[in-house]
Amino acid sequence: MILKKLKIETIHRIPGHLSLDNVDIWFQDEARFGQQNTTTRLWAKRGTRPRAIKQQQFDYAYLFGSVCPERGIGQGLVVPWVSKDIMKEHLKQVSSVTEQGRHAVIIMDGASWHTDDIAESFDNVSIIKLPPYSPELNPIEQVWSWMRQRCLGNQSFLDYDDIVEKVCCAWNKFLSCTDRVTKMYSRNWICLTS
């Protein structure tokens, strides 16, 4: 029932002069990465116990990420904190890569900086909020896990700049494979034309 409501709400947000074929569905979320990092399993010679550093410092960076599974692309913004103004900057990124004559519908959670007015200044962007406590409906949550497990786990960070550099490398590595982006995000319920 929730998925049907999301699909209907998505269709209602699309400007009337556009056909459903000209709509791109994006998924958006933020994640915090930093010195209190993830410790993951790793391969080692039998009988040995490899060591992984667990830092005690508290520097963090936030990654605002959006992905369009149909086009296999994404946009990211790494910042030191979260706010409504930063969210607007992130929407500006999505708006700038949305092709002329197309419309981007961005599905996001109900974080306090995801207010209903953040997309008002964009003609080609609309937002839809997911129901509370339903992160399973937002496939971008899988990307954060992928980045932590494959790129950022068992690492130490020197400072904020080092965090930003490594998070950007991990995000770019994820986006470098269009097939990975498309397969990880594909959901039957986002197909508007069926």
Structural domain includes residue 114: yes
CA–CA separation, 117 vs 112, rounded Å?
A: 12
Structural domain includes residue 86: yes
- Return the pLDDT at 156: 78
Structural domain includes residue 19: yes
121-157: pLDDT as tens digits: 999 998 988 888 887 888 888 899 899 888 887 787 8
SS (H, E, C) the chain: CHHHHHHHHHHHHCCCCCCHHHEEEEEEEEEEEECCCCCCCCCCCCCCCCCCCCCCCCCEEEEEEEEECCCCEEEEEEECCCCHHHHHHHHHHHHHHCCCCCEEEEEECCCCCCCCCCCCCCCCEEEEECCCCCHHHCCHHHHHHHHHHHHHCCCCCCCHHHHHHHHHHHHHHHHCCHHHHHHHHCCHHHCCCC
What CATH number is given to the structural domain containing 114?
3.30.420.10
Structural domain includes residue 126: yes
Over 60: is that where the pLDDT of 14 sits?
Answer: yes
Q: Do residues 10 and 125 touch, judged by C-beta distance below 8 A?
A: no
99-117: pLDDT as tens digits: 998 999 999 998 888 888 8
Residue in the block written with tokens 């391969």? 43
Structural domain includes residue 186: yes
In sequence order, what are the residues at sequence separation of 6 or more whose Cβ sits closer than 8 angstroms to the Cβ of residue 2?
A: 131, 134, 137
- Return the pLDDT at 193: 57
pLDDT (average), residues 34-44: 63
Name the least confident of 54-63, 76-85, 101-110: 54-63
Torsion of CA 132, 136, 139, 143, to 10 degrees: 100
Determine how many CB atoms are found less than 10 A away from the CB of residue 22: 13
Question: What's the pLDDT band for 52 if we cut at 50, 70, 90?
Answer: low
112-131: pLDDT as tens digits: 888 888 988 999 998 988 88
pTM for the structure as a whole: 0.80
Structural domain includes residue 42: no
Structural domain includes residue 48: no
**Could you give the number of structural domains in the chain?**
1
* Domain ranges, residue 106: 2-37+57-190
Structural domain includes residue 102: yes
